[in-house]
């Protein structure tokens, strides 16, 4: 293990350096330090490994997240196969995941302008809420929520109906913004719902 | 032959490992060419991961970074042998200068890469750079699950393809400052979880 550093670079500074967000003079100072300091280099390496890990689990479809249109363009440019389902408010779609799919996304269009907090409720066919994704990041200007579920979860899901609800949460009360119905059919090797 | 002197899993010489970088540099300079192999090897072992990081940051590719390590350290050790590093106590600055020069060359395409390697590589010992342990991806996925939704989105959008706070902010309709705050908090929580310190979801 490396010797301790007397003037360690903080995590924020290392992240800023890694993402090329520093002014040239600050970048030069950080680089000179890193080339002379094994301890801070180790910290940066750990951060880089973590960043690489996030990239890998994302590519594997092992992360559930709300993403963006631009993100979808990037993963497609990287050669990943992305199955997209665009659904309008009140709409319904037949969906599945094929063996060759890397990622599957639900693109839920909605009027989101001016709403402070939005939750995504995942419900069964009867409307019973199974899971709540709280305070999702939404851009009113984009008019949609791009939801990336875990690919492995979809592969394991039996045939059935899921209702996704976008809810505005305001002053302790919630209001239904839109509901979307996903009728899931497993890929040929998938399980059957009992 | 470039790879003829690559040495894997080099043992650390205790006498050399206790020395500062500058002392090792002086030892290389003071010795006849090729006679301070232990000091050169120790310098290589120390500097390789640091130069690799510089390469990853500026070239964004593992193989290119590995090439950079070879080229920078071959040139640096050769300059030390020749007594052309005037201030060994400022070795980091010297290496930084060499890194910049070589990255510029790499970005231009060919440059001095082949010439330098053909000229010097056969005489300079090379060790594998020592990266820190790989990340446990199952644990990472589990730790990402424990983050708040905004935190997870910001980390995925940031690190999938190295996007700045300004770029992520534009995509999510947030301010760059807000993204930086979320990013910092999320990374802290993620690191805690990865090290087993975060138990609550």
Give the count of Cβ contacts less than 8 A between chain A and B: 156
What pLDDT score was predicted for residue B123?
Answer: 53
CA distance, residue A79 to nearest chain B CA (Å): 13
Cβ <8 Å between B57 and A57: no
Instruction: Tell me the C-alpha distance between B56 and A150, whole Å.
Output: 29
**B132–chain A Cβ distance below 8 A for any pair:** yes
- Contact of B190 with chain A, judged by CB distance below 8 Å, is answered with yes
List chain A pLDDT tens, one digit each, 194 residues.
456 888 999 999 999 999 999 999 999 999 999 999 999 999 999 999 999 999 999 999 999 999 999 999 999 999 999 999 999 999 999 999 999 999 999 999 999 888 989 999 999 999 999 999 999 998 767 789 999 999 999 999 999 999 999 999 988 899 999 999 999 999 766 554 44
Q: CA-nearest residue of chain A to B61?
A: A52
Owner of token pair 């970074």: B65
Q: Which of A33, A40, A48, A54 is nearest to A3 (CA)?
A: A40
| The CATH number of domain B137-194, selected from 1.10.8.80, 1.10.150.120, 1.10.10.10, 3.40.50.720 | 1.10.10.10
CB contact under 8 A, B150 and A136: yes
Task: Name A147's Cβ contacts closer than 8 Å, sequence gap at least 6.
Answer: A66, A67, A105, A106, A107, A108, A120, A133, A164
Question: What is the predicted ipTM?
Answer: 0.93
Which domains are delineated in chain A?
Answer: 11-59 (no CATH), 65-184 (2.60.40.4070)
pLDDT at B105 over 50: yes
Distance from the Cα of A118 to chain B's closest Cα (Å) equals 11
What is the Cα–Cα distance from B129 to B47, expressed in whole angstroms?
A: 8
Q: Where are the domains of chain B?
A: 2-127, 137-194
| A136 touching B (Cβ < 8 Å) | yes
3-state secondary structure B30-76: HCCCCCCHHHHHHHHHHHHHHHHHHHHHHHCCHHHHHHHHHHHHHHH
Strands B6-7 and B126-127: parallel
Per CB-CB distance under 8 Å, the chain B contacts of A7 are none
pLDDT of residue A142: 77
Q: Which position has the token pair 């037949």?
A: A94
Contact B53 A45 (CB under 8 A): yes
pLDDT at position A141 is 72
């Amino acid at each position: 293990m490396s010797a301790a550093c007397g003037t360690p670079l903080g995590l924020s500074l290392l992240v800023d350096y890694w993402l090329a967000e520093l002014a040239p003079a600050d970048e030069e100072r950080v680089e000179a330090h890193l080339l002379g300091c094994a301890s801070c280099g180790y910290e940066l390496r750990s951060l880089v490994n973590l960043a690489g890990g996030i990239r890998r689990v994302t590519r594997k479809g092992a992360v559930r997240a709300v993403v963006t249109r631009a993100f979808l363009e990037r993963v497609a440019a990287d050669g990943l196969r992305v199955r997209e389902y665009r659904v309008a408010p009140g709409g319904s779609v037949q969906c599945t995941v094929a063996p060759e799919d890397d990622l599957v996304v639900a693109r839920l269009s909605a009027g989101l302008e001016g709403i402070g907090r939005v939750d995504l409720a995942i419900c069964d066919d009867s409307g019973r809420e199974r899971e709540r994704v709280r305070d999702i990041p939404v851009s009113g200007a984009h008019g949609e929520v791009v939801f990336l579920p875990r690919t492995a979860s979809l592969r394991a899901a039996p045939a059935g109906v899921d209702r996704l609800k976008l809810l505005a949460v305001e002053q302790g009360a919630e209001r239904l913004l839109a509901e979307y119905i996903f009728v899931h059919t497993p890929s040929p090797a998938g399980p059957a719902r009992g | 032959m470039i790879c003829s002197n690559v040495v894997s899993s080099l043992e650390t010489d205790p006498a050399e490992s206790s020395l500062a970088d500058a002392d090792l540099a002086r030892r290389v300079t003071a010795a006849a060419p090729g006679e301070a192999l232990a000091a050169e090897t120790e310098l290589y072992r120390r500097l390789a991961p640091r130069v690799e990081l510089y390469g990853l940051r500026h070239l964004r590719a593992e193989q290119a970074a590995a090439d950079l390590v070879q080229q920078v350290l071959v040139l640096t050790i050769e300059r030390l042998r020749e007594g052309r590093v005037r201030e060994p106590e400022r070795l980091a600055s010297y290496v930084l200068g060499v890194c910049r020069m070589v990255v510029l060359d790499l970005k231009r395409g060919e440059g001095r890469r082949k010439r330098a390697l053909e000229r010097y590589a056969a005489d300079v010992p090379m060790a594998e750079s020592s990266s820190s342990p790989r990340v446990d991806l199952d644990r990472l996925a589990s730790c990402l699950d424990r983050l708040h939704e905004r935190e997870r989105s910001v980390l995925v959008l940031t690190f999938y393809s190295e996007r700045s706070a300004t770029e992520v902010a534009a995509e999510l309709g947030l301010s760059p400052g807000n993204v930086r705050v979320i990013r910092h908090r999320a990374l802290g929580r993620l690191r805690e979880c990865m090290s087993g310190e975060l138990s609550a979801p």
